[in-house]
Amino acid sequence: MTLERYLKAAERENTQRSYASALRHFEVEWGGHLPATPDSVARYLADHAALLANNTLRQRLAALASWHREHGFVDPTRAPLVRKVLKGIQTVHPSVEKQAEPLQLTRLTQVDDWLRTAISVARERGDRADELRHRRDRSLILLGFWRGFRGDELIRVQVEYLHLVPGEGMTCFLSRSKGDRQALGTTYKVPALSRLCPVTAIVDWTTTAALTEGRLFRGIDRWGRVSETPLHPNSLIPLLRRLLTAAGLPDAEEYSSHSLRRGFAGWANANGWDVKALMEYVGWRDVHSAMRYLDGSDPFARHRIEASLPPPALPEP
């Protein structure tokens, strides 16, 4: 293996793609040059201040910083000029980070009911392609919800790294994840449930598709042939939205692959999981990361305030 391959392996696939896109935008679309100067980076920020979200601008800076470090150049993004311009942009163009709508358990149940019916219908009419597609989607959405996986984690699950534990569930080993800073790999436990069971859904999918190794979630052609190529990360959001629409749920465009993670976090919080237990289960390394996914069981504090109000005055006779 080459040095370049090892260096690429040290970064998550999502990070590699987003950084490559950011550098391409800086060089090709804007006409910047690498290595860059603090002045050119500051002008790049100013030119896109009204066009790009603040989070996107910070991501572009991270990509530029990474390129300069890797190639042995001074990082221009750390210059006082760049930091001052970014602060000014955040003041003039304040923005609130848009969060994906959490997928509530009731809506997960509605989608699962639709998928189970669709599987039965496809099997009865001998439509193997549809049956396989629905079984795959069912295992994907249930695993994504009950494990709180990110989209890039879902698509990297390998069949040979899944192991059944009779009466308990299934273990799932991921060679790397965002919280795994040392790239040692993490083994996750997937619970076997009486309903909405991710383990049963995965077994049904792998058995029907005759999968014994490789990526768990793959493309399926119109003739019911399962591809060797895994689903692309960018396909997860449209896939989820199609499922929600087919199941009759409104506002499907408000959901993304993060909706599964946020939905599970909200469900766990509402059912008495403390933050520490939730962090350990999902794999968050700090409280700040966890709190981004939690709206609280009483986000407006209405119930707590109402409970402390004095009783209403008796009406006058």
Tell me the CATH number at 85.
1.10.150.130
Burial of 184 per CB tally in 10 Å (0-12, 13-18, 19+) = exposed
**C-alpha closest to that of 146 among 121, 172, 124:** 172
Record the pTM.
Answer: 0.73
Q: Which amino acid is at 108?
A: L
Instruction: Provide the CATH number for the domain around residue 220.
Output: 1.10.443.10
Categorize the per-residue pLDDT at 288 as very low, low, confident or very high, splitting at 50, 70 and 90: confident
pLDDT at 270 over 60: yes
| Confidence at residue 316, expressed as pLDDT on a 0 to 100 scale | 53
The reply to whether 98 falls in a domain is no
pLDDT bin (cut points 50, 70, 90) of residue 154 is: very high
Mean predicted lDDT score pLDDT of the chain: 88
162 pLDDT exceeds 90?
yes
Check whether residue 127 and residue 61 sit in a common domain.
no
| Count of structural domains within the chain | 2
Q: Which residue among 70, 92, 114 closes a domain?
A: 92
Give the per-residue pLDDT at 310.
72
Note whether 142 and 232 are same-domain residues: yes
Q: Of 39, 63, 92, which residue sits at a domain end?
A: 92
Chain centre to alpha carbon of residue 218: 17
Residue bearing tokens 């109000």: 309
Lowest mean pLDDT among 108-122, 145-159, 167-181: 167-181
191 in a structural domain: yes
pLDDT, mean of residues 212-217: 96
Instruction: Please indicate, yes or no, whether residues 70 and 123 belong to a single structural domain of this protein.
Output: no
Domain extent for 70:
3-92
Judgement on whether residues 133 and 250 belong to the same structural domain of the protein: yes
Q: Is the pLDDT of residue 96 over 90?
A: no
CB 144 within 8 A of CB 257: yes
Q: Let me know whether 137 and 60 are in one domain.
A: no
**pLDDT score for 200:** 96
Residue 155 lies in a domain: yes
In a domain, 188, yes or no: yes
Structure-model confidence comparison of residues 302 and 281, the more confident one: 281
Task: Check whether residue 169 and residue 213 sit in a common domain.
Answer: yes
pLDDT 10s digits, 22-74: 999 999 999 999 999 999 999 999 999 999 989 899 999 999 999 999 999 99
